Structure 1
Amino acid sequence: MKLINKSMLTAIITLSTASVYYAQQVQDTTSKSTDIEEVILQGVTDIAKDRKTPVAASTIKAAQIIERLGNQEITEILNTTPSVYATKSGGGFGDGSITMRGFESRNIAVMVNGMPVNDMEGGTVYFSNWTGLQDVTSTIQTQRGLGSSKLAIASVGGTINYLTRSADMKKGGVVRLGVGNNDYLKASFAYNTGKSDKGWSSSILMSRISGGTYIENTDFEAYAYYFALGWEPNKKHNFQFTLTSAPQWHDQRTFAPTIGNYITYNPDKDGTPYRQYNSDFGYYTAPNGDRVALANRSNYYAKPVMMLNWDWNMSEKSKLSTVLYMSNGRGGGTGDLGRVGGKSLTSFYDNTGHFNYDAVFAANAAVNPYAANAANGGTLIRRASINSHNWYGILANFQHKINENWNFSVGTDDRYYYGYHYQVASDLYGATGYKEGGNANVAPYVVNKVYDYKKLSWNPFGGSTAPLNEQIGYSNDGEVLWYSGFGQLEYTNDKLSAFVQGSVSNQSYQRIDNFVKDGSTLKGQTVNTKTGFKDLIGYNIKGGANYNINEYHNVFANIGYYSRQPFLNAVYPNNQQLLNPNLTNEKVFSTEIGYGFRSSKLSFNVNLYRTEWSDRWLRRSNIQFQVPDATSPTGTSIVNGYTEINGITQLHMGVEFDGVYKPTSFLDINGMISVGDYKYKGNATGTNFDDNNNPIDGAANTTLYLDGVKVGGSSNNSIPQLTASLGATIKPVKDLNVYGTWRYVGEVYSTIDAQTFMNQANQERGTLKLPDFNLFDVGASYKIRLRNQDQYFTIGFNIYNLLDTTYISDGATNIFGSDTITANNDPDKGKTYEQAGRMYKGIADGNRVFFGFGRTWAANLSFNF
């Protein structure tokens, strides 16, 4: 039953006031900004000010994160923010995804203390590398749209800025213990020394998390550490050094099963989907006779980040803020590689829908990879795809207050990045080795050394690569040089605040393929191990103004244009050493207007926006292709891979409403609603590749008929175009909070499947729309204070998806009920899904999806001292 539809939107906007777990306080609009810290943007963090900065922003404090996050992904705390959709995706620890205004994380600028953390080669953000943020974050601010950041960053959909605790926090400490479903266990300790008479201060935090998630065989182990050292020798200088990391390993579910398989492999055999089902692992019989689970897909990573911040108050009117930072990431992800007896791993599923590793081990044992006539890749193993990097940067911002009303700032953002990408053996699955076919630089060789993904690397300066004769599949590096300058001019008075800002950047890319020999010939062109650097210039300009009509009402508007350089994989497409002959910058044009109301009891915002993004290049990963296979009983087999799409244009428009209502001192009512209209404009071209970069279905570009089609997600995730929430917090007695939130997600569109839109007939029916859903979360927290008011215990409890609703959070395919079933071993082959009665909540059960988690829970106990 639907609890909301479009005809009810007007009523909801009228009856609900919206927010995102935060209450914006009424500002004193009669006071003037006399301190440079109070201007629209501060330091290098670019934090938006309420009723000053003309952008749509939402802020969440540490107290709400600690109280409500529990064992969820840190991005999920943003789910009651307008136009934000965060899911657990496949369900592995830290594997969640997020979209903002219909744009995915590679096009959302994610920052820590103003430092960009999006991958410099592809723009992606792997939140499993940042799980420690939930322990050290003091504030999360989201800015939807182009935002107020001065940097040349990928804020097409918006900006998420995590502000961590500083070294000079108040003296004290906290010990926390958390438990949850599926053996979740977390313990942490933090302590702040406070600031000494000589200006020294420090802060430390250590934590460990382990257990599993709601999904089968998704065990994990993660640590987090944080150290901050501050020194303020005088009022002119303040130094802050921080070091943080969250080394972890976790087993995964990366490929979405079909709805039919969720139902078929339900142990209860009751015709309902088994939401925990994971097809990415199996069992083998250990020498002692035990049946042991073995994951094919897993992830492991350690990404220590070091930052040195220096704030120099040069005079009453001038300030220089500088950040030096370093990030050396080490780790990767696992999957299968090779074939044994002509069979891939997907040919070894048992009748429970899991891999029969006993059969794989037996087949591998019969092969001698060292034999002179042994086939290349003739054993089936688990490989680890390494994605390590060294990243160094400097960010400097000079601010000057010209007079009471005018300010300007100029600065630079310079970075160097080197990424290492290759594969090694992670488990031989009973084989004595894996034969690598060799390449232009190395003759064929056999690899028998394995790298255990559960042995975490704590050394950020450790070796970044394995020896070349232990690398398999591919071995390529990416080198990026980034230089940029930015400037801003700002005007403020009692009622008006306005700014104009711009930046220009040079991104220089080089691809290095260690399996390519200098002077080789590729497609009639001479190529080398190193491509040499390709310089690409980009720029942006944006501006906006906010006008406070009176103490209650304000209006704002902003406009911006980006000419953004494409990512490395678009500069050298198809994972080859050839420069893209059609290289062009992506263009983003965005406009937004907004209105805000503030009073002692009611605060709300309304925003309207339009963003057009053209000349876009996109890689859609984690796709399963069905290809002809004469050795398979079905005549086909599944190949894991990706699609590269060129020439995309997207148009995103929408309206947002959010606010908070406080009728009494013991009741807060929160809510939000956002309605979007996201469509593709024009057609595009696409090419399919397997995970080892081999073309599928030919290498020629194929037209994708996307014009007018609703924008869908990528990498097995979806994009909703209608979200709403309504929540309340009750404070019946002092220090007791009881809260609940209802959330609605509608107009959800599945991943754009390139294979589907190669057929022009599929253009009219468009992207597959998934069922709408409603969720309820509840929780409570209570403080037990001791005689010393600085010492207290806090008890908290949360239940997520209280009603245990079964819903699809993400879709990976576009199969309609009118489509014909084609699998050779399917008894309904030749029928449509509708004719065969193979429909689930209105969609074909051949669609690959991720079901959201069922009812889960988390509890915590902490002691502050």
Structure 2
Amino acid sequence: MKLINKSMLSAVITLSTASVYYAQQVQDTVKTKSNDIEQVVLTGVADIAKDRKTPVAVSTIKEAQIVERLGNQEFPEILNTTPSVYATKGGGGFGDSKLNIRGFSQNNIAVMVNGMPVNDMEGGSVYWSNWAGLSDVTSAMQVQRGLGSSKLAIASVGGTVNIITRAADKKQGGIVSLGLGNDDYLKTLFAYNTGKSAKGWSSSFLMSRTAGSMYADGTKFEGYNYYFAVGYKKPGGNHDFQFTITGAPQWHNQRSFAISIANYIGFNPDQDGTPNRRYNSDWGYLKGEEYSARVNYYHKPVMSLNWDWTMSENSKLNTVLYGSFGRGGGTNTTGTANGKNLASFRDATTGLYNFDNVFAANQASTPDKGILIRNASINSHNWFGLISSFNHKINDNMKFTTGIDARYYYGYHYQVVTDLLGGSGYLDKANKNIPPNLVTAVSKPEASWNPFGGKIDDLNNRIGYSNDGEVLWYGAFGQFEYTNDKISAFLQGSVSNQGFQRIDNFIIDGVTTSKRGEIMNTKTGFKNLFGYNVKAGINYNIDEKHNIFGNVGYYEKQPFFNAVYRSNENVVSPDLTNEKIFGAELGYGFRTAQFNANVNLYRTTWDDRYLRRSSLRDVATNKTFYAEITGLNEVHMGVEVDANYTLNKFFSAFGMFSYGDWYYRGNATATLFEDTTNLPFNFPGTSSNETQLYLDKAKVGEAAQMTAALGFTIRPVTNLSFDTTWRSTSNLYASLDAYNFSVKSTAERGTLKLPNYNLFDLGISYRINLNNKQQYFTIRGNVYNLFDTTYIAESNTSTQIKQLSDFATSTTGGVTTTAQQKYDAYMNNPKNFYKGLDTSNQVFFGFGRTWAATLSFNF
């Protein structure tokens, strides 16, 4: 986890209840009217939007809502009641959730912790399992949709999520809590803050453990979270120092591959034609114990040192120096046992792997004949960064900010053996620098607790591949602001240079050739790419009730690492180009003592995009492959409405609605490669791995283009509250499917549209005050998906129901079957359809009814 503290945030900010959902805290924690302003003093490098000042679309979730409503949900899911946000649990493993804003995936959403970038520097990824403990230390979570107000040169195409954490100088006190939930969920937590001493010292400590299973079968997990911060500011002094270290070592069994609807139905023990939503195809039993082919394990501790210097009444310098040492990876299987791959060991009745049979087959084989092993793909890194900003107030109306953002990242990517499964050794032939390598060393899939990185595995124990990624980033930013009683305006810009180098330890310098015949070297040298952005916005407060705003921005965004070095090779892509993003937005706000509302209109275009879709599975061959897609152009536009109403201290409500129109403009090109061998993987029925995708006007998938939510909180008596939330999802489309759009006739049918769904959640809180309310117990209960609705959260494929033209007359053994007969047989088979969908589609069903309960004691 990358947690910094309060000393990193940019200014004294005001968060009004107009931009905060569920603004009132439980019981007596909020006594004010809905138009009162809560003052939060925050200084440093972050960019937090201010209500009726910063001209961006924004929603803020406060600590009270996170503590109450998150329970055993995934951290990003707390945002699902904000406009244009679609968060899912992904495959359903612990921390495997996904976040999407305005139709843009989290790779292109800037996730910040107190202003510090979190997205992986190679691919922009956010692995929420590495940040599983973040909810324990979050004071507020702000979502800025669109280009946002951050001054850094970051990839905030869809929006910015800024997570504000607890600080060392919080007031003295502590908390002990115990949480329970479905499927043996258990969470224990202890936290304590010393408060600030007379000499200016303060500290904060937190430790928690979470374990159990997720809703899907075969998804056991265990995770820890630790947080320690110490601060010092001499009374009356101009310097404020704070040091923070935090991390969340964890392991969890996964459900990595989307499963066909037919298999969800076929592997339902009830055999009643309904899907088994808990079914997981990635696990089985070994010697009577749960054994998963897919285990993720990681520890990403982050250390930061923050220095805030008040140079004068009008000038400040805010600096943070941070470092992160990520260690871990995820397992899969490779090889064959007596010529059989893992799919051959799947039980036809239960759909689970029989690892006892794998073990026996390996024992009967030898390394030269081949064995089937569980391996791990390691994705470790060292990351160092420095952000420093100088802020100067010119006069009462004008100020400017300028600063630097420097980062260095070194990533280690390779495979190791984690289980020989009864074999005596694994014979690897991938390393061209050494003869076939017999590997007998086994690395357990366990996260190291070493906060300073731990060891990197020996080169001789690596299999499959071994390459490193090096990223050198340096940038500068500046912003000018003008404010008066009516107007707030800003103009900002940033520039950055990103240097990428790929190092392949398994190739031979000057000998190994690429797929296109180029000679490759172990080190590519740095490929430098220049990018920039410029943004401007203005807010006008018409009166105390009404305000309007607008913003516009343009980005020249550098592509990710795998776009620079495609197909996992040490060759710079010949058609490398920056991605171009243009965004514009208009907004209106209304504020009264009891009712607040916001309306936003937006339009974003994204051209020259590169996309790599990984871990795809071909059903016919059971092989996994990835697709490299170039020349993508997208248009995202829509409208967003949110509001909240406070009648009195007994009743409050909120609501939101968002409608988007997100589609591809023009066509694109896709190239397929096998995951394990990195060799070309041909499109079905062709002899080529490259083709045009007919995408023009097709809908962008992965997120719902229309969402709505409505929630109520009722406090019938002091210290007791009930809350309920309804959430509606419509116009949800499948992910981009290269197969479907490679054929013009199927592409014309568009992106697969998934069924709409509605979910209801219910919560109850009760507080028992002790010792004049300084000490108290809180009991909280949540039920999610109250009515146990069955719904599809996402689809990995876009296969539409077949038409007559998809079939051809054929003759086998002298018997001719016409296209019409094949079509009739398909249409008359109920197993081919589920709620209007072809059951060959690979999907993830959402969780059924789940629950969580927490007992906590504050002192």
Whole-angstrom distance in 2 between the partners of 1:157 and 1:190: 34
SS of 2:645 mapped into structure 1: strand
**Secondary structure of the corresponding residue to residue 132 of structure 1:** helix
Match of 1:854 among 848, 852, 859: 848
Equivalent residue number for residue 607 of structure 2: 614
Secondary structure of residue in 2 paired with 1:195: coil
The 5 A counterparts of 1:58-137 are 58-137=59-138
Q: Does 1:216 align with 2:214?
A: no
Partners of 1:151 and 1:754 in 2: how far apart? 34
Q: Is contact 1:59–1:140 with CA below 8 Å preserved after alignment?
A: yes
The residue type paired with residue 361 of structure 2 is A
Partner residue, 1:335: 332
- SS at 1:323 equivalent: strand
Deviations along 1:5-48, whole A, 9 cap, x unmatched? xxxxxxxxxxxx9974347987799xxxxx9x99xx96311000
Which of residues 470, 493, 498 in structure 1 aligns to 2:489?
Answer: 498
Give 2:548's aligned amino acid: V
- Which of 701, 704, 728 is matched with 2:693 structurally? 704
Residues 673 and 689, structure 2, Cα contact 8 Å, conserved in 1: no
Opposite residue 662 of structure 2, the aligned amino acid is Y
Deviation per residue, 1:91-139 (Å, 9 max, x gap): 1000010100000000000011110010000000000000010101111
Alignment of 1:449-488 (within 5 A): 449-453=441-445, 455-488=446-479
Q: Does 1:540 align with 2:542?
A: no
Who is 2:834 aligned against?
840
CA distance in 2, matches of 1:125, 1:610: 25
Among 264, 270, 273, which residue is 1:271 paired with? 273
Between the aligned partners of 2:184 and 2:561, the Cα distance in structure 1 is 41
* TM superposition shift of 1:621: 1.6
Q: For 2:833 and 2:344, how far apart are their aligned partners in 1?
A: 26
- 8 Å CA contact 2:326–2:453 kept in 1: the answer is no
1:683 to 643, 647, 667: 667
Greater displacement, 614-623 / 120-129:
614-623
CA contact (8 A) 2:553 2:582 kept: yes
What are the residue-to-residue correspondences of 1:502-517 with 2, within 5 Å?
502-517=493-508
Aligned-partner residue type, residue 157 of structure 2: V
Is the 1:536–1:565 contact (alpha carbons within 8 Å) kept by the matching residues of 2? yes
Q: Report the Cα offset of residue 263 of structure 1.
A: 1.0
* CA distance in 2: counterparts of 1:834 and 1:495, whole angstroms: 64
In the aligned structure 2, how far is the partner of 1:740 from the partner of 1:686?
45
Amino acid across the alignment from 2:118: V
In percent, how many aligned pairs have the same letter? 60
Structure 2 residue aligned with 1:254: 256
Residue of structure 2 equivalent to 1:520: 511
1:739 pairs with 2:723: yes
Write the distance in 2 (CA, Å) between the matches of 1:446 and 1:829: 50
| SS of the residue 2:421 aligns to | coil
Equivalences for residues 626-775 of structure 1 within 5 A: 626=619, 636-692=620-676, 693-697=678-682, 700-712=689-701, 718-775=702-759
C-alpha change, 1:700 and 1:217, in structure 2 (3 Å) is closer
Distance 1:431 1:832, change over 3 A: farther
The answer for the alignment partner of 1:787 in structure 2 is 771
1:74-107 Cα offsets, whole Å, 9 max, x none, are 1010000100011111110000101000000000
Superposition deviation, residue 235 in structure 1:
3.5
In the superposition, the TM-score normalised over structure 2's length comes to 0.92
1-structure distance, mates of 2:603, 2:331: 40
Map of 2:788 onto structure 1: 804
Distance 1:19 1:463, change over 3 A: closer
> Structure 1's 28 and 276: CA in aligned 2 closer, same or farther, altered over 3 A?
closer
Residues 21 and 80, structure 1, Cα contact 8 Å, conserved in 2:
no
Contact kept? 1:721, 1:746, Cα under 8 Å: yes
Deviation at 1:427, TM superposition (A): 1.3
**1:172 corresponds to which residue?**
173
Q: How many Å separate the matches in 2 of 1:767 and 1:488?
A: 41
The answer to whether the 8 A contact 2:20-2:62 is kept is no
State the match for 1:4 in structure 2.
none
- Give the counterpart of 2:418 among 418, 426, 450: 426
Separation in structure 1 between the aligned mates of residue 637 and residue 403 of structure 2, nearest angstrom? 32
The unaligned stretches of length 5 or more in structure 2 are: 1-17, 25-31
Asked if structure 2 preserves the Cα contact closer than 8 Å seen for 1:19 and 1:672, the reply is: no
- Residue 834 (structure 1) shift: 3.1
- Aligned partners of 1:457 and 1:850: how far apart in 2? 31
> 2-side partners of 1:807 and 1:493: how far apart?
50
In 1, distance between residues paired with 2:335 and 2:121? Answer: 30
Q: Name the CA distance, whole Å, in 1 between partners of 2:826 and 2:463.
A: 41
For 1:645 and 1:766, the matched residues in 2 are separated by 18
From 350, 355, 358, the counterpart of 1:357: 355
- Listed one character per residue, the Cα deviations across residues 594-615 of structure 1 (whole Å, up to 9, x for unaligned) are 0000000100000000000000
SS of the aligned residue for 2:772 comes to: coil
Q: Deviations over 1:699-748 (max 9, x none)?
A: 75321111110002xxxxx2110000000001111222210000000100
Residues 28 and 551 in structure 1, CA contact (< 8 A), matched pair in contact too = no
Matched, 1:445 2:464: no
- Change beyond 3 A, Cα 1:162–1:833: farther
Amino acid at match of 2:847: F
SS at match of 2:537: strand
- Unaligned runs of 5+ residues in structure 1 are 1-16, 30-34, 627-635, 713-717
TM-score calculated relative to the size of structure 1: 0.91
Q: What is the CA-CA distance between 1:860 and the residue it aligns to? A: 0.2
Q: Secondary structure at the match of 2:529?
A: strand
Whole-Å Cα distance in 2 between the matches of residues 343 and 690 of structure 1?
Answer: 18
C-alpha distance in 2, partners of 1:818/1:639? 23
* Map 1:817-828 → 2, pairs under 5 A: 817-818=801-802
Q: Which residue of 1 aligns with 2:547?
A: 554
Instruction: Please say which of residues 463-472 and 313-322 is displaced more in the overlay.
Output: 463-472
